[in-house]
Structure 1
Amino acid sequence: MVEAVNQQTRIAILRLGFLAMLPVLILIKPHMAFDSLGHEIIEAAGALILIAGVLGRFWSILYVGGQKNARLTVDGPYSVTRNPLYVASTVAAFGIGLMMGAFGFALLVGGAVGLVLYITALREARYLEAEFGAEYRAYAARVPFFIPNPSLFYTPPEAVFRTGPLRRNLFDAMVFLSFIPLVEFLDLFKTSFGLSGWSLW
């Protein structure tokens, strides 16, 4: 029998990973000077990508909220990719890395988070196929596993959602969004103490 993925373990691993990343942020050197227009543009782009990822997470939670693995969700964001919540989290992680002004770090953070979530999604797919059989196989045949295909988008005129999962997701959203003021503080800290850091392309 295929067991469902323990979501609490996955969440704990990712949260610990983000905490472990905090000291590393001090050592990252941006590609351009902190006070340059180029650095500000890259940082702003990273913040916008981060916000887009957080909004994508909320959108996904609206549709699947509290019923993951209990029923097969195929509408809204789940009509363009089977794993929109994980895609949005990967996008948000890439945005955090980009806010540091280092493309290599953005790829490293986004890639690491994406890899963990991709592996998790593979395990979940095995469970969903075992649980829902032909219904899941038909869904998998038409909807991409990870990379979204916007042309497939479908949603019913009305969708019912639960507020409990949204409240729980709010904490994760705050963790992601807290990187915006944190990065600004780190820029100030590095310029005040003349820290150059490591350059990551």
Structure 2
Amino acid sequence: MTLGQGDSTDTRPPPRRFWIARFVCALILGLYLVSRSGWEEISVVLAHLTASLGLVLAVIGALGRVWCSSYAAGNKNVVLLVDGPYSVTRNPLYFFSFVGGLGVVLATQTVVIPVLFAACYALYFGRVIRKEEAFLSAWHKGLYERYRARVPRFWPDWSLFTEPAKWTIRPLPFRRSLVEVSWFAIAAIVLHTLHDFRDLMGWPAIFVAY
């Protein structure tokens, strides 16, 4: 089910958002390269469990974004999406991006770096979400207000889940979304590779991160 009717104008996020995301990723990677995990000194098992949890969350985030894209690809802002992932949270793409990103940074086997990621994500994307909500409220008017009244902004309420019997997927934007989610797997693999390579080469650490 979809509500409202708009146009097919391209309303993709401005490039600045992606540059900020890249900057934060570079910052986190830089911290990772000049530090070492303190959890490995306390418990190697705990450190590896943290990394394994990160891989699970990265996969969930990637699959969740694919699920969202099957609804949103070519349809976002054209109609008001209220089914599937959009029936349990108003911002499922941001939610699954957060889950996937958190999974990637957990591969550092630290707590400090994931907390830094979560704080940066909340500060920046909280503002982005509020702006998008203002746009949707103006574009879809009362339809969006009724939707907002019953569906949570970010954390899913799975008791609200509904899905249509059929849904039309636009192949080109959906294919692009598949390329985008591949970065979750690539990032996790890169972090694991750097971890092993750093130990092999004996890179010095400036500080210990827990």
- Give me the TM-score of the superposition, normalised by structure 1: 0.89
Tell me the SS of whatever aligns to 1:178.
helix
Compute the displacement of 1:123 (Å): 0.3
Tell me the SS of whatever aligns to 1:70.
coil
What letter corresponds to residue 93 of structure 1 in structure 2?
A: G
Please tell me whether residue 147 in structure 1 is matched to residue 151 in structure 2: no
With over 3 angstroms needed to count, the CA separation of the structure-2 counterparts of 1:70 and 1:15, relative to structure 1, is farther
Q: What are the superposed Cα offsets for residues 35-80 of structure 1, whole Å, 9 maximum, x if unpaired?
A: 9222211111111111111111111111111222121000000000
Alpha carbons 2:92, 2:154 under 8 Å: kept: yes
What letter corresponds to residue 13 of structure 2 in structure 1?
A: Q
Please tell me whether residue 198 in structure 1 is matched to residue 207 in structure 2: yes
Tell me the SS of whatever aligns to 1:23.
helix
Q: What are the superposed Cα offsets for residues 163-182 of structure 1, whole Å, 9 maximum, x if unpaired?
A: 21222122321222112221
Alpha carbons 2:84, 2:161 under 8 Å: kept: yes
Please tell me whether residue 176 in structure 1 is matched to residue 178 in structure 2: no
Q: 1:108 and 1:21 mapped to 2: Cα distance? A: 8
Alpha carbons 2:61, 2:98 under 8 Å: kept: yes
Tell me the SS of whatever aligns to 2:40.
coil
Of 74-83 and 59-68, deviating more is 59-68
With over 3 angstroms needed to count, the CA separation of the structure-2 counterparts of 1:19 and 1:47, relative to structure 1, is same
Q: What are the superposed Cα offsets for residues 65-119 of structure 1, whole Å, 9 maximum, x if unpaired?
A: 1222121000000000000000111111111121101112112113312432221
Aligned partner of 1:132 among 135, 140, 146: 140
Alpha carbons 1:86, 1:114 under 8 Å: kept: no
Aligned partner of 1:56 among 52, 61, 64: 64
Alpha carbons 1:28, 1:102 under 8 Å: kept: no
Compute the displacement of 1:133 (Å): 0.5
Q: 2:172 and 2:26 mapped to 1: Cα distance? A: 26
Q: 2:61 and 2:53 mapped to 1: Cα distance? A: 12
With over 3 angstroms needed to count, the CA separation of the structure-2 counterparts of 1:109 and 1:196, relative to structure 1, is same
Please tell me whether residue 24 in structure 1 is matched to residue 58 in structure 2: no
RMSD over aligned Cα atoms: 2.1
Tell me the SS of whatever aligns to 1:100.
coil
Compute the displacement of 1:25 (Å): 2.2
Task: Trace 1:147-166 onto structure 2 (pairs within 5 A).
Answer: 147-166=155-174
- Give me the TM-score of the superposition, normalised by structure 2: 0.85
Unmatched runs of 5 consecutive residues or more in structure 2: 1-9
Tell me the SS of whatever aligns to 1:29.
strand
Unmatched runs of 5 consecutive residues or more in structure 1: none
* Structure 2 match to 1:102: 110
Q: 1:100 and 1:139 mapped to 2: Cα distance? A: 38
With over 3 angstroms needed to count, the CA separation of the structure-2 counterparts of 1:169 and 1:16, relative to structure 1, is farther
Q: 2:129 and 2:35 mapped to 1: Cα distance? A: 30
Aligned length: 198
What letter corresponds to residue 137 of structure 2 in structure 1?
A: E
Alpha carbons 2:62, 2:182 under 8 Å: kept: no
